Amino acid sequence: MLVALGAYAYITYRLGKKTLGRKPIISPAAMVGSKCKATTLLAPKGYIRVGGELWQASSSSTINAGEEVIVTGIEGMTLLVSPVGNENRENETGAHLS
């Protein structure tokens, strides 16, 4: 019993270490302009999935889960997004990288 518990702990540790050591697939700056889907309600903050990764996002308007959005900028580790039809309006109001 103790050997099985030790083997389980070792395997779990190795898998967890490998997962936590992964680097982001996409750099935040490269995400600006990309289209993705909201995974939660953004009112004004929520989460979106970009390239298989879950990111915190903020929007100036309410966006329902499942709606397509476009990344318009970055503030720290939060992506600024707008609904797909509104990307031109967001760019004119000063979306930025920081």
Output 8 or 96, whichever has higher pLDDT.
Answer: 8
Q: Which residue segments constitute the domains of the chain, with CATH numbers given?
A: 27-92 (2.40.50.140)
Q: Which amino acid is at 33?
A: G
Would the pLDDT of 93 be above 80?
A: no
pLDDT of amino acid 90: 44
pLDDT of amino acid 25: 62
pLDDT, tens digit (0-9, with 9 covering 90-100), for 14-47: 887 776 666 666 677 778 888 989 999 998 899 9
Whole-angstrom distance, CA of residue 30 vs CA of residue 71: 10
Asked if 37 contacts 49 with a C-beta cutoff of 8 angstroms, the reply is yes
**Residues making up the chain, counted from first to last:** 98
pLDDT, tens digit (0-9, with 9 covering 90-100), for 51-73: 778 899 999 889 999 999 999 99
Asked if 33 contacts 62 with a C-beta cutoff of 8 angstroms, the reply is no
Asked if 51 contacts 27 with a C-beta cutoff of 8 angstroms, the reply is no
